[in-house]
Homo-oligomer: A and B are copies of this chain.
Amino acid sequence: MPSFIENGTRFHLDDPKLAPNSAAYLWNRRMMIQMNCRGYAVSQYMDPEPRKYAHPPIMPGQIFMLPEQGYYPNHPGRFFYLRDNDSGALFSAPYEPVRADLDRFAFEPGLSDIRWLIEKDGVRVELCLVLPVDDVAELWTVKITNTTAKRKSLSFVPFFPVGFMSWMNLGGHFDPALNAVVCTSVTPYQKIEQYFKNQHLKDITFLTADRRPDHFEVAQQAFEGEGGLHAPSALADGGHLRGGEAYYEIPACVMQWDLTIAGGASEDFRFVFGPAKDKAEIADLRAKYIDGDVEQVRRDAHAYVTEGGRSCLEIQSPDDTFNHFINHWLPRQVFYHGDTNRLTTDPQTRNYLQDALGVLFIRPQTTREVILHAVSQQHVSGKMPDGILLRPDAELKYINQVPHTDHGVWLAITVKAYLDETGDHSILDEQVAWTDDPTPATIREHVTRALRFLAAAVDERGLPYIEQGDWCDPMNMVGYKGKGVSGWLAEASSYAMSLWSKVCAAEGDEETASWLKSEAAALVDSINRHLWDGDWYGRGITDDGVVFGISTDKEGRIFLNAQSWALLCGAADDDRKARMLTAIDEQLVTPFGVEIHAPSFTAMREDIGRLTQKWPGAAENGAVYNHAAAFYAASLYHVGEGDRGFQVLRAMLTDPERADIATRGQLPLYIPNYYRGAYRQFPRTAGRSSNLFNTGTVAWVYRAVIEQLCGVRGEGDGAVIAPQVPSSWQTLNFTRRLRGATFNVVFSREDGLAKQIVEIDGQCVESGRLAAIEAGRIYEVRVRSPR
């Protein structure tokens, strides 16, 4: 049975065929690897742009990760063949490429390692992958055990394909001094400037072992032969690797050991795989990780993830899967985002700021730095750029070259959240210059000016222009002629202005506060005047004046974001709210979450744009796009719809049982970018995970759980304690750390209560408000709620 193990810090999958694309990921300061349960891998490191060190057999296009699509036999991976030299039988661990029927299979990803246990015909193979904290390297340990009573003669053959490294130069050889297969290449280029830029690149990929192999091979074709990877010719008929090299031939790291293992005995191996600039670097990595203490590497990696990425919340609810995810896997995913910026040098501004919104609950100092860095690239006009450059040599690429209008919204939201979580008002007085004006301004001014810029970019109806997209990148043709407007952006701007108005008021700047309040109200007014469609809000108005996302649309009839943010900004009264919730339930809710819109577009709509050309049900075209669903959850909590909010959040998690894992095709170790939608149009594929763990979702889910479900958040100098616990939960215990204090909260339901009662250290606190938080203090909180 698939299940969480080790108190939820590890998962156990017992079948490689149940969800072939299911995977786990590890990262460190320099790299990331996504390992599929069957042995396929996608790994990259920053150098400074993302690069790979194991490739497919052709030159791949520059593309973001797309782990939803299938793997194929020659996909990069890490594989270990085992041959019984007496019977000739061959299998491979973890499963690919031989795909033998195994006696036992366990894929067990943990917080800081990934391990497998495979058994077949009396041979047990235990694999474990860990990443050192500070190097681009994979450290693999392998234990091979003869589980029978009789001696076994085995051949053990690790196979790490390296693939098409470069059309200019690729090859490989075995280096006895390094005890390594060393695959060399020259990164392709044509323009001379690039030669000088490429000097630092790690153009070598190597596999080194702690034991001298009896045989080796470097040319993949020589290994594979006519037999194919599932039955390599080099291993047929008791064969041994021929000790070949690769001369402008696709290289692979293949080693072979002839082992005689007594009954019950084991053999241990250790490998390091990764890129290197030169052989000296391989020698260094060998010294550290082949000669060094592997247990120390494991401890450091564990500390990096669990201590470095320590959450401010631990919960104990009746829902174990939820507990495990919230206590271990969600903060891990949030930390990954804030720690790596998704392995790019020019994160989209909205991603950069929202990832910082998540990491705020783990490492608020990171959020502070992100805010200061982001506004240093703001224009003096108040406009935020489309992407934030993380290095002097970075540049805006791909989608960051297309103008979007929403970036200022995230600045206000993130700074407000930062103030609430930390109480650190000193940030508002920090002075930062503009990208196009060296005169420094306070952060207070930066945020206000971002909102002024938003307020100014509106049409005669008072609705904000969408240009070539807002939060929704591919909604690029609503306003590209300069007239179309975004209903969602009107709501989001209004919400951001309301938030910031409160900050200004608390800071004593009544003038700005009141201007923001009136702007926010004006936006609400415009929304209600122009976008209310009778049962829900339209998403926007096109260049030609057509309101879309309304009941007369056959496709894209209702958009989730336009409803969620109407709740957040307070546009909807109770009647409208009820109608909207009904419409959402009827049209957008699926067993796998809430769709971003429905019906999915099945043909291009030229006044909406590129999103309508995406596959119906995939990504922004009607998927259960979790980022949008997370906004919805937050908005539901915001209006006191906690039960609905929890349902939305809970649907983001795969249930650890066979049927849900098979349908979604992923494990409950991360929230994916999306689950396939178009549930009412293409039911066969609905629910299938994108398996992409990069997503703005997690910041919002984490925050919703901390500040809304558990309901402990900072406010002014104090705190608010107002849990919105699912009505099906009778109890909930949690610990929340906030501004140096600890809140131990015990929630329970009781009969006969009229309303929820908060007691702090035995004192009933009617409002749930604590005027001032004392750092270092432990607050014992009891929340009693009607049953």
Using a CB–CB cutoff of 8 Å, the interface residues on chain A facing chain B are 17, 56-64, 66, 68-70, 72-75, 99, 164, 167-171, 186, 189-192, 195, 220-221, 226, 228-230, 247-250, 398-399, 401-402, 468, 476-477, 480, 609-610, 613-615, 617-618, 676, 682, 684-685
CA distance A288 to B50 in the complex (A): 49
Q: Do B69 and A164 have beta carbons less than 8 Å apart? A: yes
Q: Do B168 and A613 have beta carbons less than 8 Å apart? A: yes
Which residues of chain B are near A609, meaning CB under 8 Å? 192
- Known: A60-B60, A61-B60, A72-B57. Contact between A192 and B476, CB under 8 A? yes
CA distance A59 to B63 in the complex (A): 7
Which residues of chain B are near A171, meaning CB under 8 Å? 615
Q: Which of B164, B191, B228, B399 contacts A230 (CB 8 A)?
A: B228
Which residues of chain B are near A70, meaning CB under 8 Å? 57, 220-221, 249-250
CA distance A73 to B232 in the complex (A): 13
- 6 example contacts (A-B, Cβ-Cβ < 8 A) are as follows A58-B58, A58-B69, A58-B72, A69-B164, A168-B614, A192-B477
CA distance A226 to B100 in the complex (A): 10
The 4 nearest A-B residue pairs measured at CB: A248-B615, A59-B61, A72-B74, A57-B72
Which residues of chain B are near A74, meaning CB under 8 Å? 72-74
Output the residue of A69, A72, A74, A228 with the most chain B CB within 10 A.
A72
Q: Which of B17, B99, B685 contacts A228 (CB 8 A)?
A: B99
Which residues of chain B are near A167, meaning CB under 8 Å? 63-64, 66
Is chain A's interface secondary structure helix, strand, loop, or mixed overall?
Answer: loop
Which residues of chain B are near A61, meaning CB under 8 Å? 58-62
A37 to chain B, nearest CB (A): 14
Q: For A220, give the chain B residue with the smallest CB separation.
A: B70
- Known: A72-B73, A191-B402, A228-B230. Contact between A615 and B685, CB under 8 A? no
A247 to chain B, nearest CB (A): 5
Task: List 15 additional contacts besides A58-B58, A73-B229; criterion CB under 8 Å.
Answer: A58-B75, A59-B61, A60-B60, A72-B74, A73-B74, A74-B74, A186-B613, A189-B610, A190-B398, A191-B401, A191-B402, A195-B610, A230-B230, A248-B676, A249-B685
Q: For A21, give the chain B residue with the smallest CB separation.
A: B221
Number of identical monomers bound together in the oligomeric complex = 2
A246 to chain B, nearest CB (A): 10
Q: Do A17 and B247 have beta carbons less than 8 Å apart? A: no
Q: Which of B220, B247, B402, B610 contacts A684 (CB 8 A)?
A: B247
CA distance A70 to B56 in the complex (A): 12
Which residues of chain B are near A170, meaning CB under 8 Å? 615
CA distance A724 to B191 in the complex (A): 43
Which residues of chain B are near A58, meaning CB under 8 Å? 56, 58, 60-61, 63, 69, 72, 75
Q: Do A615 and B228 have beta carbons less than 8 Å apart? A: no
A100 to chain B, nearest CB (A): 11
A398 to chain B, nearest CB (A): 6
Q: For A185, give the chain B residue with the smallest CB separation.
A: B615
A619 to chain B, nearest CB (A): 9
Q: Do A617 and B66 have beta carbons less than 8 Å apart? A: no
A472 to chain B, nearest CB (A): 13
Q: Do A682 and B247 have beta carbons less than 8 Å apart? A: yes
Q: For A74, give the chain B residue with the smallest CB separation.
A: B72
Q: Do A247 and B615 have beta carbons less than 8 Å apart? A: yes
Which residues of chain B are near A220, meaning CB under 8 Å? 70
CA distance A609 to B189 in the complex (A): 12
A783 to chain B, nearest CB (A): 45
A77 to chain B, nearest CB (A): 13
Q: Which of B59, B169, B613 contacts A169 (CB 8 A)?
A: B613
CA distance A168 to B613 in the complex (A): 7
Which residues of chain B are near A59, meaning CB under 8 Å? 60-61, 63, 66
A280 to chain B, nearest CB (A): 16
Q: Do B192 and A247 have beta carbons less than 8 Å apart? A: no
CA distance A59 to B221 in the complex (A): 22
CA distance A99 to B99 in the complex (A): 18
A35 to chain B, nearest CB (A): 17
Which residues of chain B are near A399, meaning CB under 8 Å? 190
Which residues of chain B are near A250, meaning CB under 8 Å? 69-70
Which residues of chain B are near A72, meaning CB under 8 Å? 57-58, 73-74
Q: Do B248 and A685 have beta carbons less than 8 Å apart? A: yes
Q: Do B398 and A17 have beta carbons less than 8 Å apart? A: no
Q: For A477, give the chain B residue with the smallest CB separation.
A: B192
Output the residue of A195, A613, A684 with the most chain B CB within 10 A.
A613
Which residues of chain B are near A618, meaning CB under 8 Å? 169, 248
Q: Which of B99, B226, B615 contacts A226 (CB 8 A)?
A: B99
Which residues of chain B are near A17, meaning CB under 8 Å? 226
CA distance A17 to B227 in the complex (A): 12
Q: For A169, give the chain B residue with the smallest CB separation.
A: B615
Q: Do A685 and B73 have beta carbons less than 8 Å apart? A: no
A233 to chain B, nearest CB (A): 11
Q: For A615, give the chain B residue with the smallest CB separation.
A: B248
Which residues of chain B are near A73, meaning CB under 8 Å? 72-74, 228-229
A673 to chain B, nearest CB (A): 13
A65 to chain B, nearest CB (A): 10
Q: For A64, give the chain B residue with the smallest CB separation.
A: B167
CA distance A43 to B170 in the complex (A): 25
- Known: A59-B60, A61-B61. Contact between A168 and B615, CB under 8 A? yes
Q: Do A402 and B168 have beta carbons less than 8 Å apart? A: no
Which residues of chain B are near A228, meaning CB under 8 Å? 73, 99, 228, 230
CA distance A6 to B454 in the complex (A): 76
Which residues of chain B are near A480, meaning CB under 8 Å? 192
CA distance A424 to B273 in the complex (A): 66
Q: For A225, give the chain B residue with the smallest CB separation.
A: B17
Which residues of chain B are near A613, meaning CB under 8 Å? 168-169, 186
CA distance A57 to B684 in the complex (A): 22
Q: For A170, give the chain B residue with the smallest CB separation.
A: B615
Which residues of chain B are near A230, meaning CB under 8 Å? 228, 230
Q: For A68, give the chain B residue with the smallest CB separation.
A: B248
Which residues of chain B are near A685, meaning CB under 8 Å? 247-249
Q: For A245, give the chain B residue with the smallest CB separation.
A: B684
